[in-house]
Amino acid sequence: MPPVSLNRLLSSALKKPGLVFSPLPPLTTLQFTDHSLYHQHRPFSENHQSEPPEIPFLKTPTRTPLETEFETWTQNLKPGFTPTDVDTAIRAQSDPDLALDIFRWTAQQRNYKHNHLTYRTVIKTLISGRRYRQAETLIEEVIAGACEMSVPLYNSMIRFCCGRKLLFNRAFDIYKKMLKSEDCRPTLETYTMLFHSLLRRFNKLNVCYVYLHAVKSLTKQMKASGVIPDTFVLNMIIKAYAKCLEVDEAVRVFREMGLYGCEANAYSYGYLVKGLCGKERSGQGLGFYKEMKGKGLMPSGSTCMILICSLGMERRFEDAIEVVIDMLRNSMSPDLLTYRTVLEGLCREGMVDKAFELLEEWRKKDGLMGEKNYQSLLNGLHFVSRQ
């Protein structure tokens, strides 16, 4: 409708008699069902007084001590810093997360690249700080070719993987990569870690045979690489053969120790004695036992008890008694099964009086036998002698 017509219509309506217009109530008394409409029609002054708008303030963000220390170290690294400077900065950190932050920040700077020194340092820092997942990530970066390699870096990665159950196979992957390298060949430390990792899995007889092949292969590779083993490595090889009851191979390695300038110790003899007894060759085991005694060495208590039981099962009681006396003389106490094997074996062979005499003699010399074990042995002798 045109504006002129609208004005005429309003004027004529106001002039009509009887037409009364009631004034509108104040705006504040109106009841709005929609509160948004109410706020839209409120005067600005009223709205401003009841609900003052929030005024943003410019505040300086609070920095954590870790962030402050990070900035301090990054500022100390002057332009043109070298991997040696970064290595020094990482070594100075007691917090592994801060060390990793510095490592990552420096990697993003222009004209800089990490080398084997910085990678090895940050990996060792993360491992000591129990950041194993981050350390594993960095190891995968190194394997992918993130930096040039070195023997210490290889050995650090192998040591970490050998210590983690799920990374056992990864340790040998790194070793194979090391074996193909021209500049970073495996060392005695490398083979020591790998042999030790394998021997930790020799806990059951059926599992031993699975890993024995790896021990044989590793031994051949070590010899082909020209690495001269020490007594510790040779003892692990002897132990592997003895655990799998391949005692002839164990004896062969034992005889070869002198060729490498190594001298057999109590562990060398102990592994042989246990393996020979397990193969029911206790006489040969006793021979190594006496040879060891002639050198002034004394085996562990478990080795002695295995030899005693093996001799007792073969009815070589005089030799078994001699080993028991050696144990007591060296302040070692045989267990209940070892005593019973000898004493009850004597009773079954008709030497009842000697068995009772030995029990009383050993009770006086063995302060750890105890009254309970003594009564158990005494009752066992009475039961066997009645039979």
pLDDT band at 83; cut points 50, 70, 90: very high
pLDDT tens digits for 119-151?
999 999 999 999 999 999 999 999 999 999 999
Contact (CB, 8 A) for 344 and 381: yes
pLDDT of residue 51: 53
pLDDT band at 60; cut points 50, 70, 90: low
The upper half-sphere exposure of residue 334, i.e. CA atoms within 13 Å in the direction of its Cβ, equals 30
Contact (CB, 8 A) for 142 and 119: yes
Q: Enter the tokens of residue 271.
A: 């592994």
Mean pLDDT for 342-367 is 93
Residues with Cβ within 8 Å of residue 177, at least 6 apart in sequence: 143
Average pLDDT of the chain, as a whole number: 86
More confident residue, 134 or 78: 134
For residue 69, the one-letter residue type is E
What is the chain's Cα-based Rg?
43
pLDDT of residue 46: 46
pLDDT of residue 210: 86
Residue indicated by tokens 């050198």: 295
pLDDT band at 109; cut points 50, 70, 90: very high
Mean pLDDT for 190-209 is 89
Crossing angle (nearest 10°) for helices 151-163 and 188-199: 10
Gap between the Cα atoms of 50 and 184, Å rounded? 77
Greatest Cα pair distance in the chain? 147
- The closest of 109, 47, 46, 45 to 83, measured between CA atoms, is 109
Using CA atoms, how far residue 327 sits from 56, 323, 358, 365, 378, in Å, is 84, 6, 14, 10, 21
- DSSP 8-class letter at 109: S
Kindly report which listed range (21-25, 156-160, 176-180, 316-320) carries the lowest average pLDDT score: 21-25
